[in-house]
Amino acid sequence: MKIDILYEDADILVCVKPYGMPVQGDKSRDTDMLTYLKNHIFEREKMEEEPYLAMIHRLDRPVGGVMVFAKNRSAAANLSDQVQDGTMIKFYQAVLTGELPDDYGTLTDYLLKYGKTNTTKVVDKGVKGAKKAVLDYEVLDVMETDDGILTYVLIQLVTGRHHQIRVQMASRNAGIYGDTKYNPKFMKVKKKYQQMALYSTRIEFEHPTSGEHLVFKQEPEGDAFDVIELTEF
């Protein structure tokens, strides 16, 4: 599985994550992005020791799209600060099996992660361990199909919680197309690491050294998005 690199310099590496590939090593022992990219740098630069590469944010295994990694500790600290203070802006495109109440809006929930099952649920505000989750959305298109209504949306992730987009949409009966964990329409699918129609389509941040405002975009790829006519963003 090949990873397309969109940009690279001494501080950062921006690439396109293929769906189905884990960001870091897991119990499957499948090739992960961190290992792949470190090997790529190691072999290209003919290095004598493993290069430094830090993950700044995550994408779930069935999700593809744009990601940024840091190539040194200073860049990692700077980019992590941007994630925390909200100056790193992340947009996603998604196809939902259902409708949202308005053409655009903000979804706010409190989410609780269950470590043993690797799942997250919407809970009441006062529940111990619950974290506030916020996203903005805009409906790009609504389509009637033989299998029901599909909604094509653009999402700006304000907070970055575990499975946040998947859980918040599913809680409104508009789960992500192809999501075998949270969308009841796909829970019986047995295909391993099925692709879902959720894609990291745009990321904006300040370069950790120069301060230049950088924008990277990638249109959704894969069979899960073939169910709709994509709108370029």
pLDDT attached to residue 45: 79
Distances (CA, A) of 53 to 47, 50, 196: 14, 9, 27
- pLDDT band for 74, please (50, 70, 90 cuts): very high
Q: Which residues pair with 109 in a beta bridge?
A: 133
- Of 3.90.870.10, 3.30.2350.10, 3.40.50.300, 3.40.50.2300, the CATH number of 4-225 is 3.30.2350.10
The answer for residues whose C-beta is within 8 angstroms of residue 108's C-beta and 6 or more apart is: 132, 133, 134
- pLDDT band for 231, please (50, 70, 90 cuts): low
Model pTM? 0.91
HSE toward the beta carbon, residue 85, CA cutoff 13 A = 9
Q: Minimal CA–CA distance to 219: which of 67, 66, 18, 4?
A: 66
